[in-house]
Structure 1
Amino acid sequence: MNTAIEDDSTLTDRYQTTVPASIRRALKLKCRDRLHYTVRPNGEVVLSRAGDEPSQDPVVAGFLAFLERDLQAHPENIRPATTSTFAEAERLTSGIEVDLDETLPVDDDDA
């Protein structure tokens, strides 16, 4: 990018915004790509494409470490996923619809 690209967007009541098309094109962003924000001491914000590695959630990391220890200590509890396992999962989740684009409910603590 040889020339500076500047654009504006509006913050919604949920503190969300749409990344302007000019910025999406410049960063080659696609749906579900991650963004990285850097706030400099002077208040300037730098928006960039996030790396491929998502930041590690300490709760998830702890849970995965627990699972690893448990599986190593008790390998006899490991069972293969079978056709009936998947059939049971489908039965348990039948009728549940998920809309990944659905608006999130308002959080009381964000107000």
Structure 2
Amino acid sequence: MGALLKEESTITAKGQTTVPKSVRQALGVDYGGRIAFFVDEQRRVYVRKAEVEESADPVIDHFLDFLAEDMIKNPRKSVASFPKALLDRAAVLTAGMTVDLDAEIDGDVSI
């Protein structure tokens, strides 16, 4: 099999490694993304972008149910706007800043 891409990465004492940027880009994964490893009979390892599974988290589900019930029981207390002073302070602290949430991450990223 001819490789389209070859990269190397070191495994740490804790068994962790960095997925090189070019591999992340080829797989279409970014920070927080998931990858799946497959090992065949010849002990070759394949890496793919993991399929997204909708898994229910019982703790989150119960918390969201609690919030929904609280909002119904206390409609005027459950949701409140931020105090103006907090919004003004946030505006001062972030004045002149620009953030591109879709920008690529430069360099290697350890996950």
Q: Select the structure with the greater relative contact order (CA < 8 A; seq sep ≥ 6).
A: 2
